[in-house]
């Protein structure tokens, strides 16, 4: 496989092995999540200029002023979702497409929505090119979820919210999980896991603080 004229070679695989070790040191235990990270060429999701840094545990700029999340954040959110083969999952914030590929690698049926049209188009093309055309990408305002395809077994929000969006909670099936960073400042979002236990009852667990670009309402058609 090749992207932007760059192969996925042994050097990249070696760097990924080190990244996996780093993630284990930071507390990621789910072997399946680590295997997905070991097998997905993260440098394909970044500008060629960042190839050398693709396997460090850092966030990077992608188009439209957005970022690809830290590998640790991707791993932790994925771990919290407890993905099973066949899970129907909605991702809010497609961005580079990397998180969506991790979910798809684990056997989930992924719907992913992005509000930046430029990013949506770029990632749509990339996913097809690298063999992940089965991910259903949508352009729109993820604040509204994807009612056409609801209910979902899992929902993951990859942008930082200021409050829990009721609309998304209501698109979970009973027993389903929502993993979402919520907080009043950009660099201190608490990771929440919400479980829908009945039509109108939800439980909530909190896991650590993270930094995220903001979860915004509406769409942006400027490319």
Three state DSSP letters for 19-54: HHHHHHHCCCCCHHHHHHHHHCCHHHHCCHHHHHHC
Is the distance from CB of 185 to CB of 175 less than 8 angstroms? Answer: no
* Closer residue to ligand SAH, CB minimum distance, 20 or 68: 68
* Closer residue to ligand SAH, CB minimum distance, 199 or 222: 222
The yes-or-no answer on residue 198 being catalytic is no
Least Cβ distance, residue 118 to ligand SAH (angstroms): 10
Out of 44, 60, 72, 143, the residue judged to bind ligand SAH by CB under 6 A? 143
Least Cβ distance, residue 105 to ligand SAH (angstroms): 13
Q: Please give the angle made by the CA atoms of 46, 55 and 112, to the nearest 5 degrees.
A: 50
Hey, which residues between 162 and 191 contact ligand SAH (CB under 6 A)? none
* Closer residue to ligand SAH, CB minimum distance, 199 or 218: 218
Least Cβ distance, residue 140 to ligand SAH (angstroms): 7
Hey, which residues between 100 and 119 contact ligand SAH (CB under 6 A)? 113-116, 119
Which of 137, 147, 143 has its CA nearest to residue 216?
143
Site string for ligand SAH, 7-46 (x = CB under 6 A): ----------------------------------------
92 forms beta bridges with: 113, 157
Catalytically active residues, by annotation: 69
- Site residues (CB under 6 A) for ligand SAH? 66-69, 92-93, 95-96, 98-99, 113-116, 119, 141-143, 158-159, 213, 215-217
């Amino acid at each position: 496989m090749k992207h932007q004229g760059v192969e996925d070679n042994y050097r990249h695989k070696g760097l990924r092995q080190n990244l996996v070790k780093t993630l284990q040191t930071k507390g990621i235990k789910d072997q399946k999540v680590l295997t997905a990270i070991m097998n997905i060429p993260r440098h394909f999701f970044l500008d060629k200029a960042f190839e050398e840094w693709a396997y460090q545990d850092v966030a990077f700029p992608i188009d439209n002023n957005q970022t690809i999340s830290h590998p640790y954040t991707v791993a932790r959110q994925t771990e919290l979702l407890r993905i099973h083969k066949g899970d129907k999952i909605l991702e809010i914030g497609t961005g580079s497409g990397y998180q969506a590929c991790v979910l798809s690698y684990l056997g989930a049926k992924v719907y992913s929505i992005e509000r930046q049209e430029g990013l949506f188009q770029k990632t749509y093309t990339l996913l097809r090119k690298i063999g992940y055309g089965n991910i259903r990408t949508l352009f729109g305002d993820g604040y509204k979820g994807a009612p056409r395809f609801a209910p979902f077994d899992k929902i993951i929000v990859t942008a930082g919210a200021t409050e829990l969006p009721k609309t998304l909670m209501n698109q979970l099936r009973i027993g389903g999980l929502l993993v979402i960073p919520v907080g009043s400042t950009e660099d201190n979002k608490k990771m929440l896991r919400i479980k829908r236990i009945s039509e109108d009852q939800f439980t909530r667990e909190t896991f650590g603080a993270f930094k995220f670009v903001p979860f915004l309402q509406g769409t942006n058609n400027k490319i």
